[in-house]
Homo-oligomer: A and B are copies of this chain.
Amino acid sequence: MVLIKKDLFEEAYTILKEMIMEGNLKPGEKLVQEQIAQKLGISRTPVMHALRILETEGLLTINPRTKVMQVRDLSQEELVTIFEIRLCIEPLATRYACLVITNEAVEDLEKSFTIAYKTMDEKEYRRLDNKFHTYISEICPNRDLKDFTIRSGLISRFLIKGLIRPPQETYYEHLQVLEAFRKKLPQEAEKAMRRHIEITLAHLRRK
């Protein structure tokens, strides 16, 4: 009985998170428990707990007065701070990732990036940009660092639409991180990632 409930909750959580990540639920959009429960064909309790976790993860906000939930709509100020956080956390995760990433994974990332770059497919490039950062977070062998990196990455990538800077700039910065991975130089990888995020942060601050 409890096991079934847990599965329903995990399912509701996964579906809702994907809807935010795919942009089917947009920043500012309201989420009504009853409607979601009806749509997914499950009771309100697992939906409520899924929403609570997504709020803990920073993807949703609750209006404290009306208790209405909505997809979080980042202010410019919040966006800058989330990049300040990423600037702290992600280079550290990159250093750790360098110790465990395989040559095959490095080649894969470089190959797909290069194809998307050369064919000038911006949507595909954006998908790979997400994949690149997500992959580095996910292979990070420390649980806390992994969680913090994934979470800050999710907030900054899925609550804004489109690329902040053009592929012409970021492509080469990604290659530098991959190059350091290939040479197994953790501190170089850390530095390259820091530079990459620093430039984006400077760009955001000028806006």
A residues apposed to B, CB below 8 Å: 2, 5-6, 9, 33, 44-45, 48-49, 52-53, 56-58, 77-78, 81-82, 84-85, 88-89, 92, 96, 142-145, 147-148, 151-152, 155
Contacts and interface: CB of A to CB of B under 8 A. Distances in A.
A85 B78 contact: no
A58 B147 contact: yes
A2 B81 contact: no
B45 A2 contact: yes
A92 B88 contact: yes
A155 B144 contact: yes
Secondary structure dominating the interface of A = helix
Contacts of A85: 89, 92, 144-145, 148
A48 B6 contact: yes
A144 B152 CA distance: 8
Contacts of A92: 84-85, 88
Nearest to A87: B88
A84 B149 CA distance: 13
Contacts of A155: 144
8 contacts: A45-B45, A53-B53, A56-B57, A85-B89, A85-B92, A88-B92, A89-B89, A148-B152
Q: What 9 pairs across the A-B complex have the smallest Cβ distances?
A: A88-B88, A81-B142, A49-B49, A82-B144, A2-B44, A81-B145, A58-B144, A88-B89, A84-B92
A5 B84 CA distance: 37
Nearest to A3: B67
A5 B143 CA distance: 31
Contacts of A78: 142-144
Contacts of A2: 33, 44-45, 48
Contact of A53 (B56, B58, B144): B56
A48 to B, nearest CB: 6
Nearest to A58: B144
